[in-house]
Amino acid sequence: MARRPSALAAAPATAPSRPVGNATRGTTNPNRLRRMDRWIAAEHGAVLRRAADPVAVDLGYGAAPWTAVELLGRLRTVRPDARVVGIEIDPARVAAARAYEQPGLDFVHGGFEVPLPGQRTRAPILIRAANVLRQYDEDEVAAVWRRLCARLAPGGLLVEGTCDEIGRRHVWVTLGPEGPRTVTFAARLSALHTPSDLAERLPKALIHRNVPGEPVHAFLRDFDRAWATAAPLGALGARQRWRAAVAALATDWPLTGDPRRRRQGEVTVRWEALAPRS
């Protein structure tokens, strides 16, 4: 999504003449973001239910519109009148996606300025940005986060993260208008060797911090140790082993969210516990 770093510092008072950001590679697959979508619906369905205008954005959906179509269906399980706007900086991708438009689903050309159909003052209750910031430098992330959070409706959420090509491993940060709140790790447990396998999918804000002395490195180290200790429960299945490891992890780390989600191969920790030290 042509880079103009200075344009990321703050949202302008008027819409820019061209979209802000760089085009992504466009890689996408059906159901790639299912773990993130289902977590949003389960953990933050109340945000959608309270929204006066339940519009969500799939930012940088890629070369095909599958993720936006799927997001609409999953959000409508908690808010039947939810709407989704897919935003892409590549106009050819937008043109191709318009064949998939339906009531409640639109595709528009744009970037980090997050244009929405209708009134200029309209703001989304949710922005989902998956695999968008991975190509950026770490020192650009905070400015992008601020810009996107400034576009949220009151009480809205930004969910930004990275996953593998078929959605087996995923890590995302959830932010409110005030900034980052939590980090969620999610995996297909049957394909997981150790929890630290998820390190390769850390969001850009954290992926270069997986080194000794940084909190995220300590978290994954402790998670691997808890996973090893819970190895005997592997005879009952990977899910039982994961839940036992997470329960052990909770003694030293500030886990949050609905504990029942851990059965799905998820664990959420407060941002301040993993935030980079510098």
- Give the C-alpha separation, 210 to 214, whole Å: 7
What is the pTM assigned to this prediction?
0.92
Q: How confident is the model at residue 24 (pLDDT cuts 50, 70, 90)?
A: confident
Mean pLDDT within 91-114: 97
Q: Which residues are paired to 128 by β-bridges?
A: 58, 159
- Give the C-alpha separation, 169 to 185, whole Å: 8
Q: Dump pLDDT digits (tens) for 132-188.
A: 999 899 999 999 999 999 999 999 999 999 999 999 999 999 999 999 999 999 999
According to the model, what pLDDT value does residue 22 have?
82
According to the model, what pLDDT value does residue 249 have?
97
Q: How confident is the model at residue 76 (pLDDT cuts 50, 70, 90)?
A: very high
Mean pLDDT within 125-135: 95
Indicate whether 18 pLDDT > 80: yes
Question: Are 5 and 21 a contacting pair, CB within 8 Å?
Answer: no
According to the model, what pLDDT value does residue 121 have?
80
Task: Please provide the DSSP assignment of 146-203 as one string.
Answer: HHHHHTSPTT-EEEEEEE-TTSSEEEEEEEETTEEEEEEEEE-GGG-S-GGGGGGG--
According to the model, what pLDDT value does residue 3 have?
39
- Give the C-alpha separation, 94 to 16, whole Å: 18
Alpha helices in the chain (DSSP H): 34-50, 66-75, 91-97, 138-150, 204-207, 215-229, 238-249, 271-274
- Give the C-alpha separation, 127 to 82, whole Å: 13
Q: How confident is the model at residue 17 (pLDDT cuts 50, 70, 90)?
A: low
> For the chain, what percent of residues have pLDDT higher than 70?
94
